[in-house]
Amino acid sequence: MRKPSHLPKKAKAAFVLSEEDGRLFRETVGTVRPMVNDRVLLEFKHPKPRSQANEAGWSDISPTEIPLLATGDIMSFMAPGIQKRVLQRLRSGKFGVDVELDLHGLTVDEAKRRLAGFLSSCLADRYRCLHLIHGKGYRSEGDYPILKNRINLWLRQHPDVLAFCTAKPAEGGTGAIYVLLRDSRNKTDSVF
């Protein structure tokens, strides 16, 4: 049977602090100063998003020794703490590509700007798996594809890149890569 809603609810008994508990509390807290300012800060400053200019400042000099890649060489990278099976799943296409960017034929500076902007917008739109086409470098001077090697270096420096690897032959082979980005919603990455 329900009680009528117009009846007052029973008040809970007030908690009374013993003298011993009061003394222990005052010893633990120590001296107390009254607040000088009792205003509440109503404005919250959101952190500024990382700018494209900041990302476009990637170093073109490797902090560690990364061997130069030839035209037919495969690319592979895993950020520290990423499991090998994540790279295997990326390589086999288990993540599903969200968006694609074609960079082949661009100069190094153009490619750097486009890649920086592309990564920023992908993180903002919460895309996780990217398909980057960098080309095989047949028109590069020398024996090594310039853009392929620069992208290999730049992506290793980006804090939100978890892994990347050479694409399947039907999707560009050694002239393209799959990139897995950090989930911008979580600080801990769940790639499953």
Domain 71-181, CATH 3.30.1370.110 — does that match? yes
Residue 42 has pLDDT above 90, yes or no: no
Are residues 165 and 156 in contact, defined by beta-carbon separation less than 8 angstroms? Answer: no
Return the pLDDT at 31.
Answer: 82
Return the pLDDT at 38.
Answer: 67
Residue 127 has pLDDT above 90, yes or no: yes
Q: CA-CA distances (angstroms) from residue 163 to 15, 24, 26, 98, 182? A: 57, 55, 54, 15, 9
Domain boundaries, the chain: 71-181
Residue 156 has pLDDT above 90, yes or no: yes
Residue 138 has pLDDT above 90, yes or no: no
What are the φ/ψ torsions at residue 98 (nearest 5 degrees)? -90, -40
Query: Which positions ≥6 away from 117 have C-beta within 8 Å?
Result: 52
Among the listed ranges 4-8, 28-32, 78-82, 91-95, which one has the minimum average pLDDT value?
4-8
